[in-house]
Chains A and B, each alone.
Chain A
Amino acid sequence: MADHAQAEPHTLAPHQQHQFETMEQQQETSTLGMWAFLVTEVMFFGGLFGAYTVYRYLYPQAFSAASHHLNYIIGAINTGVLIGSSMTMALAVRAAQLGNRRSQVVFLLLTIVLGSTFLGIKVVEYHDKFVHHLVPGANFRFEGPRESQIFFSLYFAMTGMHAVHMIIGIGMLSTLTVLAWRGNFSSQYYTPVELGGLYWHFVDIVWIYLFPLLYLIRGG
């Protein structure tokens, strides 16, 4: 069935792992792996979107009433902040591709700052909900349809799960910043930065859907 034709010895490049033939194979494989991971993430959030869709269909009035208690201006600002962080992340990857260590570090730091800003604003919003007894559970008080609690449950589950991903992302970016600072990456090898970027953009995409679905149920 097979010949053992290739006889060249298996020598490894500096960042190459033993199971790969070439750096190119390693890079393509890692990228594909990250995309595969993001597929699982889509399905992970997908369960929440499924629950959201069903309940929004079942209780449109309750969802609308509850959504009016979210501040869509703050939500829009946060959307802008997150898109900005995606932009700086894309530029960090670009800097890595060009082998520019300094701007790589700067853009990574900017991304961390914007991500933290997003989380800070989120904390303010959560605090506001807490003060107004809009956190589901024993202390939930809401004048209006009973199912509004389901909206807030989903709101906290979805944005909370998103925030957890943001926190993980910031941790990851911090590691990348240190590595970039130390000069671990070059225009020949920057796969970790690229993968970090893919993850960060994905988290951005989740928010791009969460924002209109949660904050912008104004009319119907």
Chain B
Amino acid sequence: MNRFLFFIPEQASSVAAQVDLFFYFMVAVSGFFSLLIAGLIVFFAFRYHETRVEAGRPAIDDREHATTHGHGQGAVMLEIVWTVIPFALAMVMFAWGTSLYFTLVRPPAGALQLYAVGKQWMWKFQHPEGVREINELHVPLGQDIRLTMSSEDVIHSFFVPAFRVKQDVVPGRYTQTWFHPTRTGTFHLFCAEYCGTQHSGMIGSVTVMEPRDYEAWLATGGGAAVPGQSLAQLGERLFNERACSTCHLPNGQGRGPSLVGVLGSTVKLEGGGTVKADESYVRESILNPMAKIVAGYVPQMPTFQGQLSEEQLLELIAYVRTLGAKDGGAAPPTVAAAKE
């Protein structure tokens, strides 16, 4: 960035340049209208200042009189002009802004799936390979990255200015965001939703690495302890430990419905109605099993409210995800898979 545009943060994601382009357009339009209005006011204020206009100047002729009164034909034309032109411009802004927004909220298929949990006042991240980080997030360059987020306490907001992404992290459900880093380096990570005393301390960094370096980093367990088990493996262990596996048999013959291929499918509910089985649905079904009963099953599952941490829930979901779709494939891509 040159020094006149010092306030444009680094463009480190695929959408950053698009957002900035739209921003320049907005600045140009607003700048034009601001200068137009300011210029007219200054011009009129001098041109028609009382020292330049005689008091009791000759009566204005009728046509002009009507115009300056704001209800002649010319005046109505003016009103129409300055209603229609701003309206048209507003609709252009709306359309542009909305199409940009759809880019921002739709993660591309096959994105690398990472998890984040916000709590007062730190960010916890989990990689599918099991590596955990606090307030630092390492991601590979040039890859779509999807972040599924929840909060343990109050509302937080995941904000990386260099990526131009922001998404509130809401307790009790999952929200998501995605980005595609285009530049290696370390970038600010902020919490953007006020969350209490150390709100301004809930900051961290996102480090974008060459994929090769990222893999090496993962292999050493993020430079920390021994590389642990993958998220899905941890989830599978929980699935057995908490005896989920005794009822949710893969063949659908158990007391609970089979979870094979459930994530992403549409589930029929008892008493009519369906629900799209996303991560929030799986989460709700674990914590509050009575809320939505799958058609043909008896509501008998105990609640796990207060017995599982947000991280454990994410592990379980990572495991359920590996149970795959009905076509049998589609385990979440890891770095290696996505690179191919």
Interface residues of A, Cβ cutoff 8 Å to B: 59, 61-62, 144-147
Contact = CB atoms under 8 A, between A and B. Distances in A.
B271 A61 contact: yes
8 contacts: A61-B292, A61-B293, A62-B290, A62-B291, A145-B288, A145-B290, A145-B291, A147-B288
B130 to A, nearest CB: 32
Interface residues of B, number: 8
Contact of A146 (B271, B288, B292): B288
A175 B288 CA distance: 51
Give the 7 A-B residue pairs with the shortest CB-CB distance, closest first: A145-B290, A146-B288, A145-B291, A144-B290, A147-B291, A61-B271, A146-B290
Nearest to B291: A145
B305 interface: yes
Contacts of B291: 59, 61-62, 145-147
B303 interface: yes
Nearest to A147: B291
Interface in B292-308: 292-293, 303, 305
Contacts of A144: 290
Contacts of B271: 61
A151 B288 CA distance: 16
B244 to A, nearest CB: 19
Contacts of B290: 61-62, 144-146
Q: What is the predominant secondary structure among interface residues of chain A facing chain B?
A: loop
Contacts, number: 19
Contacts of A145: 288, 290-291
A46 to B, nearest CB: 25
Nearest to B272: A220
A55 to B, nearest CB: 12
A62 B292 CA distance: 10
Contacts of B292: 61
Contacts of B303: 146
Given A61-B291, A62-B290, A146-B288, 12 more contacts: A61-B271, A61-B290, A61-B292, A62-B291, A145-B288, A145-B290, A145-B291, A146-B290, A146-B291, A146-B303, A147-B288, A147-B291
B174 to A, nearest CB: 16
Nearest to B271: A61
A61 B293 CA distance: 10
Among A59, A144, A145, A147, residue most surrounded by chain B Cβ atoms (within 10 Å): A145
Among A59, A144, A146, residue most surrounded by chain B Cβ atoms (within 10 Å): A146
Nearest to B303: A146
B133 to A, nearest CB: 33
A61 B291 CA distance: 7
Contacts of A62: 290-291
A59 B303 CA distance: 17
Contacts of B288: 145-147
A144 B292 CA distance: 12
Among A59, A61, A144, residue most surrounded by chain B Cβ atoms (within 10 Å): A61
A220 B314 CA distance: 33
A147 B287 CA distance: 12
Contacts of A147: 288, 291
Contacts of B305: 146
Contacts of A146: 288, 290-291, 303, 305
A62 B291 CA distance: 7
Nearest to A62: B291
A61 to B, nearest CB: 7
Nearest to A146: B288
A147 B291 CA distance: 8
A3 B293 CA distance: 77
A145 B288 CA distance: 8
Among B271, B288, B290, residue most surrounded by chain A Cβ atoms (within 10 Å): B290
A62 B293 CA distance: 12
A146 B291 CA distance: 8
A199 to B, nearest CB: 40
A25 B337 CA distance: 81
Nearest to A59: B291
A218 to B, nearest CB: 13
Interface in B271-293: 271, 288, 290-293
A146 B305 CA distance: 10
A147 B290 CA distance: 9
Contacts of B293: 61
A207 to B, nearest CB: 29
Nearest to A144: B290
Nearest to B292: A61
A29 B291 CA distance: 52
Contacts of A61: 271, 290-293
Interface string B214-233: 00000000000000000000
A62 B289 CA distance: 12
B3 to A, nearest CB: 50
Nearest to B270: A61
A134 to B, nearest CB: 17
A54 to B, nearest CB: 14
A37 B305 CA distance: 45
Interface in B81-125: none
B310 to A, nearest CB: 18
